[in-house]
């Protein structure tokens, strides 16, 4: 366990080991980072989810990692997967919210989402284009040139859930 304390507002962050036994009995808001890549995600989630019954929140944050696993299931329930959520090279945003065809800049995911109103989850997505538009000082062309293939770019930077058949 690692703990960081912030004296100015008396808050703290506690880092727990990524296993279900460590999470059981913990009280507090939980953030599960890069959850799609955890080897035992179903057990971790099963141990953490009951914490919300005590008034705390749970947030799952991750880069997509295929079309299977607990993170994918929850992302799908939140409306982040499926109709209208995929960014493809045929739909692009020219910077003025006008869709055109081309290969350079995909449509912002956030503009294409239709979230499921019946889900208990609040789905949010920020791809590299959204992040740069919001002020992230990143060179998109440089990042894209560092990706070995289109699938890596789409999953790692465009927040797309790609099936194993696409990889």
What count of other Cβ atoms lies within 10 Å of the Cβ of residue 43? 15
Q: What confidence tens digit (pLDDT) does each residue in 15-53 have?
A: 877 778 777 777 888 888 899 999 889 999 998 888 888
Mean pLDDT calculated for residue range 71-76: 90
Residues in Cβ contact with 128 at an 8 Å cutoff, skipping those fewer than 6 apart: 136, 138, 140, 143, 157, 158
What count of other Cβ atoms lies within 10 Å of the Cβ of residue 20? 16
Provide the pLDDT for residue 103: 29
pTM above 0.75, yes or no: no
Q: How far apart are the first and last CA of the chain?
A: 36
Provide the pLDDT for residue 117: 61
């Amino acid at each position: 366990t690692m703990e960081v304390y912030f004296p100015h507002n008396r808050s703290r962050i506690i880092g727990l080991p990524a296993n279900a036994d460590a999470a059981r009995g913990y009280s507090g808001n939980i953030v599960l980072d890069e959850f799609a890549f955890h080897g035992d995600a179903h057990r971790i989630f099963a141990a953490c989810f009951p914490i919300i019954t005590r008034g705390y929140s749970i947030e799952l944050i991750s880069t997509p990692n295929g079309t299977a696993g607990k993170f994918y299931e929850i992302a799908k329930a939140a409306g982040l997967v499926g109709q209208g959520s995929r960014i493809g090279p045929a739909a692009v945003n020219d910077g003025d919210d006008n869709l055109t065809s081309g290969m350079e800049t995909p449509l912002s995911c956030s503009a294409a989402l239709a979230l499921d109103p019946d889900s208990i989850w609040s789905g949010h997505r920020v791809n590299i284009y959204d992040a740069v538009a919001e002020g992230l000082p990143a060179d998109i062309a440089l990042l894209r040139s560092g990706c070995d293939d289109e699938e890596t770019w789409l999953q790692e930077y465009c927040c797309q859930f790609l099936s194993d058949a696409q990889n």
